[in-house]
Amino acid sequence: MGRVLLLLLLFLAMALAFHRAWLPPEWDPIQPLNLKAPRTPMTRLKLAWLQHDSQRCLAALQTSPLQWRVAQGLRAGQCPLPDAVRILGGPVATSPSSFLASCRLAVDWSLFVTDVAQPEALSAYGKSLRTIEHVGSYNCRDVRERPGALSSHARADAIDVSGFVLADGRRVLVSAWNDKGRDGVFLHAIRRSACRFFGIVLSPDYNALHAEHLHLEASNWALCR
């Protein structure tokens, strides 16, 4: 029995030592996240590691299709942003046209655009997305229903999405959440799929404060409502 255990431990040690030779990078949990690579069950784990590793996060962001730049002069004040970037564009435009984001939010947003919003629009309407409308990301304030608790917006870890504009100009607002037709199906599908990447997704189902937007938060929590 002891000999079998020893051989097993030796095999595991060799497998770990040479795992890069047989394990694709997108499946290797210790390899950096590459947003150009296929998604795997390891993607969410790699996202979680970005929360406290700014260099690894920026390396992942370099592989995204977003246009962005490092935001300067935001390291002081009541709500400092040490790793903030400004999103300037991407595969789908935003309105307003740019926004501040923590690096982790920027990576999650890239996945939201390419893996959630665009595919769900094509599935529901057969049309691509022209614009994603939002009502802001960075805001140095408390959680609205919890005075004294700093909001995730104060860290630029969240963005509130209010609507989607299709290539043909059709506008789908989050306020149409309870629509019984395609708009309602589309919006619910967006929430469900967004939870694959964002740790916290809050919809009109959560409370009245979210009746007109989806709160998308870069977090290692798991709350999808």
Which burial class, exposed, middle or buried, applies to 38 when counting CB atoms under 10 A from its CB (0-12, 13-18, 19+)? exposed
pLDDT band at 223 (very low <50, low <70, confident <90, very high): very high
Provide the 3-class DSSP secondary structure of residue 148: strand
78 pLDDT tier (thresholds 50, 70, 90): confident
DSSP type of residue 199: S
Nearest-CA neighbor of 82 among 94, 91, 74? 74
* pLDDT at 106 > cutoff 60: yes
Return the number of other C-beta atoms located less than 10 Å from residue 164's C-beta.
26
Distance between first and last Cα of the chain:
50
103-139 burial, b at 16+ Cβ within 10 Å, e below that, comes to bbbbbbbbbbbbbbbbebbeebbeeebbbbbbeebbe
Distance CA 97, CA 89 (A): 7
pLDDT tens figures, 172-220: 999 999 999 999 999 999 999 999 999 999 999 999 999 999 999 999 9
User: Can you give the pTM of this predicted structure?
Assistant: 0.89
Q: What are phi and psi of 26, to 5 degrees?
A: -70, -15
